Structure 1
């Protein structure tokens, strides 16, 4: 009984509700915000016939150029089988192509096509009004402040990532 009592704490417990003061509060808020943002961005992509997982790969391809699947997997947080399915989908739609990598017959690089770039640009236009809905309750200047804070959380300068 004494051992059980020593494990009890007066620390606040996670509730996932506004005002949660638990050590999990920030993570829970980030998760909820991620779900909401993902839902809105999925809504923007749906009429274009792609999902967020496809768009994540297109982002990497536009940013980095031709990229081997292993690096796409790492950049998007998708397992190897999942990235193969996404690239297959993009190829079927004519949005990306696999190309041989000189010097390594086993490796293929994925490259965005002109149609992929067109869709990428269309996605940005479609997302703009939904992105506005995401920040509608923020005051002037707060979206920029939130972006700065989230950038520092997501990309820490310390080695304690």
Structure 2
């Protein structure tokens, strides 16, 4: 081998440490950020007797109104069996009900109940101080900037719409 011959380069490997330059760095940071945020939000929901998977469905129901289960599954990133279990849980707790869809004997729309709406509002009150604690280490304005960046990242199709 001569001095002019190129040396094979060592690939950049993911480390999951701050400053990681691997192609996986962004995904790893998002995973870690999700874990931190989910831990905090789980803490807020625990006294209310629900989990994040339940709250995710309640968010969709509040946002969209009555929603068929297949659309709930798509909106929450849950499979068909998983969404059925979550809706079963919500029904058992009196937070949501299934109703027939006119014109489609097989489809069931899920609707939030007044009790579900009360819990939804209570969850926001419970989460507020924990959300403040979650971003306490950021500089003024950083939280808004982070929210803006993550929104644009998570919803790229909405950019031009």
How many Å separate the matches in 2 of 1:144 and 1:120?
Answer: 23
1:104 corresponds to which residue? Answer: 104
Give CA-to-partner distance per residue, 1:81-129, whole Å, 9 cap, x none. Answer: 0100000000000000000000111111000000000000000000011
How many Å separate the matches in 2 of 1:110 and 1:126?
Answer: 25
How many Å separate the matches in 2 of 1:105 and 1:70?
Answer: 14
Identify the range of structure 1 (17-26 vs 35-44) with the bigger mean alpha-carbon deviation.
Answer: 17-26
1:123 aligns with 2:123: yes
In structure 1, the gaps of 5 or more residues are 1-7
TM-score, with length taken from structure 1: 0.91
Aligned-residue offset at 1:77: 0.4
1:145 aligns with 2:141: no
Which structure 1 residue ranges, 4+ long, deviate > 2 Å from structure 2? 8-12
Give CA-to-partner distance per residue, 1:46-101, whole Å, 9 cap, x none. Answer: 00000000000000000000000000000000000010000000000000000000
2:31 corresponds to which residue? Answer: 31
2:88 corresponds to which residue? Answer: 88
How many Å separate the matches in 1 of 2:105 and 2:132?
Answer: 46
In structure 2, the gaps of 5 or more residues are 1-7
1:57-76 equivalence runs, <5 A: 57-76=57-76
Could you say what secondary structure the match of 1:97 adopts? Answer: strand
1:5 corresponds to which residue? Answer: none
TM-score, with length taken from structure 2: 0.91
Aligned-residue offset at 1:158: 8.4
- Provide the alpha-carbon RMSD of the alignment: 1.6
